[in-house]
Amino acid sequence: MAKLGAGKRNPPQLGGNVRRIRRQRGLSQAALATELGISASYLNLIEHNRRNLTVPLLIQLSEFFDIELTDVADNDEGRLVANLMEVLSDDLFSELDLTNTDVRDLATSNPTVARALLALYDRFRNQQDDLATLDRSAALSPDDNGGRDRLPSEQVSDFLQARNNYIPELEAAAERVNGDAALSGEDPLRAMAAFLANTFGVRIVALSPAGDNMVRRYNEHERILEISEMLPAASRIFQIAHQIGLLAAPLELDRLVGEGDFAGEDARTLTRIALANYFAAAVIMPYQAFHRAAKANRYDIELLQHRFGTSFEQVCHRLTTLQRPGVRGVPFHLLRTDIAGNISKRFSLSGIHIPRYGGACPRWNVYAAFLQPGTINVQISKMPDGATYFCVARSVRKRGGGYGAPQSHLSIGLGCEIGWARELVYADGIDLDNPELAIPIGVSCRTCTRLDCGQRAFPPAAHQLNMDVNLRAVSAYVSPHTT
């Protein structure tokens, strides 16, 4: 078995961040080294993590690029390592004697190769899924999209994660439109309808349920926007704001989609939809006003719902975008899962590792929230490496029609590193310093090293099981000799 439970945590290496920012600004190593007063060879060593990035150099970089210190110091090495751990825990690599140190060394010394390995495994998984669901002739058809590396949804998640889920171009466009049309007034629905009619000649009509599950349909030739009359008010406003984004910010959307490294038109289209959703949230919940309200109300999600006329999920998602330099909010993570454990939305700025493949640890409160519908579930979560997080979760229900129509049950999880917990109203009355309140969790069963968990669905990849038919531990996948 691959020994992915061994090794210790090393200090974060920031050379990859320096290289990424330098390339984004179109600078050569020699040019940046001159600005910093160091040699190009020394900068090369920093970028390859062979020399540490000192505090004075970190300050120089932030001042030269006119960015926050945290924009340079933010480290995605942990996320990359976690994804690699998840990949290398596959039985495909069971004969290799890999350790945490091996994986971390790869992510630190050559992150490009590490990401290439992830892309290769993504493609492998996709092809395995195809073979499991299609007959061989369909799988080998020339029409099959064999060139894809990742699912479109994964490409969108990676695109947003790389930008810390903060898109300044769309924030600026939303503020411009909001100012022109006063969309955040007392009657945003009427203001949006007037803006569409006056600016684009678009008329809004009700879309009656006809069994096709449509919630929004735009006819660009007749300039008619149909919005389902079955949607709650918050969702109707959001869908109209989404359409405004498509019409009012096409240049920004085109530019952003063009910057992404997408494999296939499906991923580009899904990214455009995600970006239009971002715009919609920015219009309905303007950055400055929302940030002030979030801080003043200590991130009370339901109060923010009522203040801005939005849904629970919309508020949670907007909270993850508060990363404007100088006006930042709490760095949150967010995930959305259905009742079967499928993760359909994930983002992490808190440092927690959300599984890339399959479901998360069943001890996460995002799953327990299904047991208490509509109630906010609070949890202090502790990872095997000692990192501790404060998390809230609540189930939500989505309906697509009238009586008898099927409903979707989802759970939304939002959390932060424990050091930020006191910023949240949900931490009131909780002894955050009491280690006994922390629930031991992992990322996923295959990568988790906890041997005393009775909720294991799979054996750990990090340990050899010594099964004994005459003994039974809390789980069949836990060796009684090691507990």
Return the pLDDT at 478: 64
The CATH number covering residue 379 comes to: 3.30.450
Least confident of 75-79, 173-177, 353-357: 75-79
Integer Cα distance of 94 and 98 in angstroms: 9
DSSP assignments along 95-121, one per residue: TS---HHHHHHHHHH-HHHHHHHHHHH
Return the pLDDT at 473: 66
Task: Give the residue-averaged pLDDT of 192-203.
Answer: 94
Q: Of 260, 284, 308, which residue constitutes the final position of a domain?
A: 284
- Residue 142 confidence (pLDDT) above 50: no
Do 191 and 277 sit in the same domain of this protein?
yes
Return the pLDDT at 259: 87
Token digits of residue 223: 């300039």
**Count of C-beta atoms within a 10 Å radius of residue 317:** 23
Do 117 and 186 sit in the same domain of this protein?
no
In a domain, 33, yes or no: yes
CB of 198 within 8 A of CB of 210?
no
Task: Give the residue-averaged pLDDT of 308-337.
Answer: 94
Do 117 and 200 sit in the same domain of this protein?
no
In a domain, 438, yes or no: no
In a domain, 1, yes or no: no
The CATH number covering residue 183 comes to: 1.10.10.2910
In a domain, 80, yes or no: yes
Do 83 and 183 sit in the same domain of this protein?
no
CA nearest to 382, candidates 332, 483, 450, 482 = 450
Return the pLDDT at 479: 60
CB of 174 within 8 A of CB of 279?
yes
In a domain, 248, yes or no: yes
Q: Of 232, 262, 284, which residue constitutes the final position of a domain?
A: 284
Q: What CA dihedral angle connects 202, 208, 211 and 213, to 10 degrees?
A: 50
Do 173 and 127 sit in the same domain of this protein?
no
Return the pLDDT at 279: 97
Range among 68-72, 109-113, 353-357, 403-407 with highest mean pLDDT value:
353-357
Note the pLDDT tens digit of each residue in 264-292. 898 899 999 999 999 999 999 999 999 99
Q: Considering the chain, what is the average pLDDT of its residues?
A: 82
CA nearest to 447, candidates 7, 82, 93 = 82
More confident residue, 106 or 136: 106
Q: How confident is the model at residue 333 (pLDDT cuts 50, 70, 90)?
A: very high
The CATH number covering residue 51 comes to: 1.10.260.40
Do 270 and 374 sit in the same domain of this protein?
no
Return the pLDDT at 133: 46
Calculate what percentage of the chain has a pLDDT beyond 70.
79
Do 173 and 118 sit in the same domain of this protein?
no
DSSP 140: T
**Number of folded domains that form the chain:** 3
Q: Output the CA–CA distances (angstroms, integers) from residue 1 to 98, 446, 454, 481, in the order listed.
A: 9, 11, 21, 17
Q: pTM of this prediction? A: 0.74
SS3 state at 463: coil
Do 52 and 104 sit in the same domain of this protein?
yes
**Count of C-beta atoms within a 10 Å radius of residue 2:** 22
- Residue 134 confidence (pLDDT) above 80: no
In a domain, 180, yes or no: yes
- Residue 263 confidence (pLDDT) above 50: yes
Calculate what percentage of the chain has a pLDDT beyond 90.
40
Least confident of 41-50, 323-332, 373-382, 461-470: 461-470
Could you tell me the residue range of the domain that residue 335 belongs to? 328-427
Least confident of 68-77, 106-115, 291-300, 442-451: 68-77
In a domain, 300, yes or no: no
HSE-CB of 3 using CA atoms within 13 angstroms: 8
In a domain, 84, yes or no: yes
Do 91 and 177 sit in the same domain of this protein?
no
Do 23 and 114 sit in the same domain of this protein?
yes
Return the pLDDT at 139: 40
